[in-house]
């Protein structure tokens, strides 16, 4: 999957995440290298119950990328910390926005 936590897939980007629920604030932390490849580390204040953390993650990403949150979806990992999220749109444009987010991450 390369050395970045994202890849272009047809009309979208697939983004690998590691989510920390019940954090102090909602934030995009940066890229974390794991044994199975890089992930974008994200923290949200929501608890990991009843889909609240997933909803918070999608809202955070949608706001940061300027896309409607209803268009984002969790492909895998809905009940775990590691997630694969689909972001529809122009791949190169989305990747350049993701790179800018990582450059400005906390």
CATH number at residue 70: 3.30.1200.10
Number of domains in the chain: 1
Query: Is there a domain that residue 58 lies in?
Result: yes
The per-residue pLDDT for range 31-42, each reduced to its tens digit, is: 999 988 999 999
Query: Is there a domain that residue 66 lies in?
Result: yes
Query: Is there a domain that residue 59 lies in?
Result: yes
Smallest CA-to-CA distance from 57 within 36, 73, 76, 38 is with 73
Task: State the residue range of the domain holding 51.
Answer: 6-103
Across 75-104, average pLDDT: 94
What's the helix, strand, coil split of the chain in %, to 5? 30, 35, 35
Query: Is there a domain that residue 38 lies in?
Result: yes
Is pLDDT above 70 for 58?
yes
Across 73-99, average pLDDT: 96
Query: Is there a domain that residue 55 lies in?
Result: yes
Q: Where are the beta strands (DSSP E) in the chain?
A: 6-9, 12-20, 27-34, 37-43, 73-76, 82-88
Query: Is there a domain that residue 49 lies in?
Result: yes
Across 53-78, average pLDDT: 96
pLDDT given at position 1: 46
Structure tokens at 6: 């994202």
Query: Is there a domain that residue 1 lies in?
Result: no
Is pLDDT above 70 for 98?
yes
């Amino acid at each position: 999957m390369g050395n970045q936590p994202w890849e272009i897939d047809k009309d979208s980007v697939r983004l690998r995440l590691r989510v920390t629920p019940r954090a102090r604030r909602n934030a995009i932390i940066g890229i974390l290298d794991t044994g199975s490849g890089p992930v974008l580390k994200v923290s949200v204040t929501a608890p990991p119950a009843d889909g609240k953390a997933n909803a918070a993650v999608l809202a955070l990403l949608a706001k940061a990328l300027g896309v409607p949150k209803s268009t984002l979806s969790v492909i895998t990992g809905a009940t775990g910390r590691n997630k694969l999220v689909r972001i529809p749109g122009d791949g190169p444009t989305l990747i350049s926005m993701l790179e800018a987010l990582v450059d400005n991450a906390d």
